[in-house]
Chain A
Amino acid sequence: MRWPIILNVARAELRAGVRGFWLFVACLAIGAAAIAGAGSTAAAFRAGLAAQSRSILGGDIAFERTQMRPSPAMLAWLEARGRVSHLVQARAMAAGPDARRLMDIRAIDALYPLAGKVELESGADLHAALAPRDGVPAAVVEKAALSAIGAKIGDRISVATGAVVITDVIAREPDAIGRGLALAPRFIVRTDALKSLGLAQEDSLFDVQTRVALRPGLDAKPVAAAFEAAFPELKNIVRTRERAADGLAETLDRLEAFIGFVGLAALLAGGLGVQGAVQAYVESRRGQIAVLRALGASGAEVRAIVALNVSALAALGIALGVAIGASAPFIMVAIAGDALPLPAIAGLDARALGVAATLSAIAAFAFAAGPIGSARITPPAVLFRGAEDNAATPLPERMAGWLGLLALGGCAALFSPAPLFAGGLALGAFAAFLALRGLGLLAQRAARGASGGARGVWRLAITGLGGRGSLAPAATPAIGLGIALLVFLTQLQANLVTQVTETAPRQFATGAFLEVQHGDTDAFDNLAAAAIGQPLAPAWYQRAPVLTARLTAHNGAMLIPEKIPIEQRWVVEGDAQISFLDGQPDNFTVKQGAWWPRDYQGPPLVSLEEDFARGLNVKPGDTLTFAALGQDIEARVANLRTVDRERMGPNFMFVFSPGVFEAANPRSIVLVRLEEAPQTRLETDIASMFPGVVILRIRDALEAVAEIFQSLTLAIRAVAAVAVVAGALAVAGAIAAGARRRLYEAAILKTLGFTRAQIVAAFSIEMALAGALAALIGAALGLAAAAPIIVFVLKASWATASAQVVSVVGVAIFILALAGIVAGFSALRTPPSRVLRENR
């Protein structure tokens, strides 16, 4: 290898410009931009969360317990190390002039907030705003609370069993992030108001958050560890700033992995554009390459020259994409600013940009290796007899290309913040890509066999589809991959929306009543029967006791959260709602073991969901230990069950046999399935008779969830569009590469007597057929991937949103037919005599 010669020739080639290479550059840039953008944006959010982690956590260390305040010993331990603040959180009904609605009540002490600041719309101080007015407790509320119940500032409204005066509107809460999907607006009151409101009483459901601002010089991590060691019942639930927004961090990881996957799909689809462009480049330079060979350049030197040129252009595309991706967080912060759902600090994240550049470079290598290899084996004899038989890819470069693809998948998973998730997605993308590629080649072969049966322009079109310059092998994977992704996402969304707007109200509970006191259950039952005017029946009315418990040990061994799959970890890290039932509910099906006999009074037994038990490796006969009611309760697993989610009924993670928790006089939850009017009637009666009961309008909640799913439409299409556009660019490249063939064909067809219209129609039909093939196969793949998720993972019934599939396929066919018309007219622009003279 003589590098001065290689550099000399490569430089001269680049000096001539990158004409015709913009598609190559764009194909790489779009994938690089998606990956860099996803990584940079996630990094900006992570930086924002990290910077505000103390405010989000509310201090240096914090923990939350259900229905339990810290013991005096715990308080003494903590107060010796810093300032301690308590928050009580509960849900209650608030009644304004227009309506009664569920509110999320937060009761604060004088030290709140230990970090950050609550901003009120009037600019007043929080604690001043919460000072009682004429002996009535004050509340500051979210704006949504005012509109929900038709109240305004200064109104005195009833909350639970008491009353408050609304004094201000919350503009910003420092620790609002991490609250998740808030179905009820926030009310902030002082802790001393709880008693008059009848909230957070011994047997009601409430959470107590304890937050500590440590004395200067104390490090949170060792303090938290020492605290957990001193009070083992708090093991695993004490959080420090690093875990301030655990759930959010995980969501960010998955979101980044998913958008990274879309970028990977774009690189695969766009990779075909890269391959086509390099192939076309090598073909166009075949004569010059042969001259170099004739002058004595070795195959390796020729390969190095082509590779250098391709690398320079790839670097340009990657740099462009990475620059676009790097600017994404800056643009996001500049445009959305405070409207962003999470705090974000825009910056250049070297890792994110490096990952995007590396993956794009591997993709460029994988797809360009083959055509570059075909340059290497160009013999000088091409100068005498053309290059038709020399376009094959030599084995070493073909192998290098496949290894490159493997490396691309491996690195995509390895570099992802969620490697397993990303690895699964990458595997799916590769499987889809290879399937589409294979089907495209099969379609080309089928068209070759079928062309004899057609007539006229159809015969021309089908012959074109089956011929050497066929669009099918490139278009099917390039467009198909994007369409598969688009159909996959839109079908998931459509099914979820149908589930919550149509299926759920028909089959699930439409309302829930929480916090029904143990002593009120009979009266509650009677009132419900009277309000609806029919006897209680499980079909529309079900009541179950509710308590909370935390799983601590399995077969006597302490459970360590880090060793438990993420989906199951929450039962070890926090309290789960549990119940106890005598008979087996209709919506439960026992899969292993047996339900306990009626009126069972033996040692505690527990039933849990089969999938969940599998994650924890729990079998019938095992023992589970729970922390509940301030003591350890050991129960034997009696059975594993499935839950029919399409039937109304209790769905607690852990259901115990009777005789364990009755003495605690637990409160109950009541589920109803009613039409809108009787449900409203029942709610009104219950509200007046039982003001402490929390009414949850599941119907409204479902509508809110459906609205959120609907609002994702644009985001889903934008994400899928990245892969679709990359594929479209690749196909545009393939169409451009076939321009010479079409020019020659058009000239011959004209001399044979075909009209312009017939020639244009033939090209248009050929491309529309390629588009139809790609879109139909892509859509079928998308449907095949989405249906199992709805049926097996979400355990819901599947319904194909046919209109969306038809419109996606239709648009793809239309655009390619249009491209065929444009290509046809473009081929007819040059007079046939000139074309035939130049292509002797």
Chain B
Amino acid sequence: MRGNKLTSLPNQTLALKDVSLALTGGAGRVEILKSVSAQIEAGEIVALTGPSGSGKSSLLAVAAGLERATSGSIRLLGNELVGRSEDELARSRRSAVGVVFQSFHLLPNMTALENVALAAEIAGAPRPLEAAREALARVGLSPRAGHYPSQLSGGEQQRTAVARAAVARPKILFADEPTGNLDSASGAAVRDLLFGLAREDKASLVLVTHEADLAALCDRVIRMADGRIIA
């Protein structure tokens, strides 16, 4: 476990140092992440685990640039994320990062192919439709390419989401409870897909999960509690 030690190895994909996240709401200021440091190396598959409210999804969000950290340093593929604007973070995500959510979050008014092609287009792929078809083929969904999310099963929707995350062949994939909303068979299929794609593309994979079996399959497990890495 290299949870709390920051090194600057050239093959590091992600390096977090003393990252804090505090949110201010109706209940006042709440510290979500407290001085978290961690590194993810190229091609490494890491599980983030911990009880509800421990901050694992928040850590994934700040690491992926989906949420702005309050302080600290986050270097994603050598680029510092802390202190950047929302639009700068968006630009840095386009081709470098893929994200899979527990609730799939496909755009309901686009077909599976269009959902994946949109991500490819935003990432700047020269031929987004071709890239999307290829990505759907990789997740075994070519026959369902023209279907809308509402016409797909939960497992198929998540596979589409995986295809969308992987279409630009990013250097790092983030997955937040990717199997949490699926039955065990679909969950296993999605897990295999994610692992397979990451290894095939030599991409890092960071996934948040409650499932011990899934965590056990990863190269490394980071355990969190109360906004800190504990192991």
Contacts and interface: CB of A to CB of B under 8 A. Distances in A.
Interface in A738-792: none
A15 B108 CA distance: 11
A74 interface: no
Nearest to A15: B109
Given A384-B58, A389-B25, A298 B87 contact: yes
Nearest to A378: B86
B91 A299 contact: no
A297 B66 contact: no
Contacts of A51: none
A384 B66 contact: yes
Interface string B93-129: 1110001010101111110001000110111000000
Contact of B108 (A288, A296, A380): A288
A379 B114 CA distance: 23
Interface residues of A, number: 30
Interface string A808-824: 00000000000000000
A5 B122 contact: yes
A9 B111 CA distance: 11
Nearest to B60: A384
B189 interface: no
A379 B84 CA distance: 13
Given A5-B122, A298-B90, A288 B107 contact: yes
A290 to B, nearest CB: 8
A377 B23 CA distance: 17
Nearest to B21: A381
B90 A293 contact: yes
B88 to A, nearest CB: 9
Given A12-B107, A389-B25, A380 B122 contact: no
A293 B87 CA distance: 9
A803 interface: no
Given A12-B114, A383-B101, A384-B176, A296 B122 contact: yes
A701 interface: no
Interface in B145-181: 164, 176
Contacts of B42: none
A189 to B, nearest CB: 78
Interface in B57-97: 57-58, 61, 64, 66-68, 86-87, 90-91, 93-95
B54 to A, nearest CB: 14
A288 B109 CA distance: 10
A8 interface: yes
Contact of A298 (B61, B64, B91, B118): B91
Contact of A13 (B23, B101, B109): B109
Contacts of A383: 66, 101, 103, 105
A379 B121 contact: no
Contact of B90 (A4, A297, A381, A385): A297
A288 B176 CA distance: 17
B67 A295 contact: no
A836 B122 CA distance: 37
A16 interface: yes
Nearest to B105: A291
Contacts of A290: 105
A379 B123 contact: no
Given A291-B107, A294-B64, A299-B87, 11 more contacts: A8-B118, A9-B107, A12-B110, A13-B109, A292-B107, A295-B118, A298-B87, A379-B68, A380-B90, A383-B101, A384-B67
Interface of A: 2, 4-5, 8-9, 12-13, 15-16, 287-288, 290-300, 377, 379-381, 383-385, 389
Which 5 pairs of residues, A with B, have the shortest CB-CB distance?
A296-B94, A16-B109, A381-B67, A380-B66, A12-B109
